Amino acid sequence: MLSTDPDHTSLREDVLRQLWKLYPQHCVVMTDPRSRLAIDVGIGRAARHGFREAAHVRPFLGLMVFLGSHFDEDPQLAWARESLQRSASASRGSAMGDLLGETTRRMQPIIGRRGGHYRRALARSRALGFETLAAIHDDSDSTLHGVLRQLYRRKYERLGDAVIEPLLLATRSAAQHHGLTTPPGLVVYLVLVFLLGSGIDRDPFHPWVGETLMTPTDPTTKARALHRRAIETLRRFTRLDELMRANAPRG
């Protein structure tokens, strides 16, 4: 339920305008009411780190969109948590500045100039048909390493085994918890975690994931449904992204 507190409502609308300006693809895909709900979650998460002013909440929500809503506890992004811990006693403006600077330094080599590496990883994900996944009968760590390496080599190599190994362990556990007990289901879930963040099952900017996972059905049907929703969302996002870039001012 949306808050009716006047100050909270004003902050939400301020952040919403910023998100529509910077990330219209996400807002269109989500729809406006869900964007507001996601912002309410983000305002609460930002407040945990002392970010309560609009000037700090806006970039925090932007990082949630960019890195995943639970970026501050994602094992793929340990540097974000460490930055927030180091700056816990600093002014909130300084803390946010440090976090944004660290994000640029860490993520630019991974996503590439203007997000080129990341867009190619999304394109490879879209091309990964469910029948191809259904042919995977081996869910060993070596197979999962191969999937991630082929999907997004730049990120895979940057993270290294020290991050990938515990990520695979945690993802296996989460997939089992959600009833994704077949190799194709695990791979679909792992790809989403790798591309969108470790908290994908509870990310308010990707509510379709949690909705699909909560549907009571057999493992194969659930895996197929999650794959279908992922492809549909990626297609919509990609088309909007291409349209935006085609109409962006040059120079």
More confident residue, 119 or 149: 149
* Residue 148: inside a domain: yes
75: number of Cβ within 10 Å = 16
Name the amino acid, one letter, at 72.
Answer: D
* Residue 1: inside a domain: no
* Residue 183: inside a domain: yes
Q: Are 110 and 155 in contact (CB under 8 A)?
A: yes
**Tally of domains in the chain:** 2
Interval 79-95 mean pLDDT: 95
Q: Are 237 and 29 in contact (CB under 8 A)?
A: yes
| C-alpha to C-alpha distance for 144 and 187, rounded to whole angstroms | 7
> Does residue 1 carry a pLDDT above 60?
no
Q: How many Cα atoms sit within 13 Å of 64 on the Cβ side?
A: 27
Q: How many Cα atoms sit within 13 Å of 170 on the Cβ side?
A: 16
More confident residue, 89 or 18: 89
Task: Map 155-200 to HEC letters.
Answer: HHHHHCHHHHHHHHHHHHHHHHHCCCCCHHHHHHHHHHHHHHCCCH
Q: What is the pLDDT of residue 21?
A: 80
| C-alpha to C-alpha distance for 237 and 119, rounded to whole angstroms | 11
* Residue 22: inside a domain: yes
Q: What is the pLDDT of residue 92?
A: 95
Residue 9 token pair: 């409502």
Residues 103 and 126 in one domain: no
Interval 114-143 mean pLDDT: 84
Residues 229 and 119 in one domain: yes
Q: What is the pLDDT of residue 246?
A: 64
| C-alpha to C-alpha distance for 186 and 140, rounded to whole angstroms | 11
Radius of gyration of the chain (CA): 18
Residues 94 and 122 in one domain: no
Residues 120 and 183 in one domain: yes
Q: Which domain range does residue 103 map to?
A: 6-110
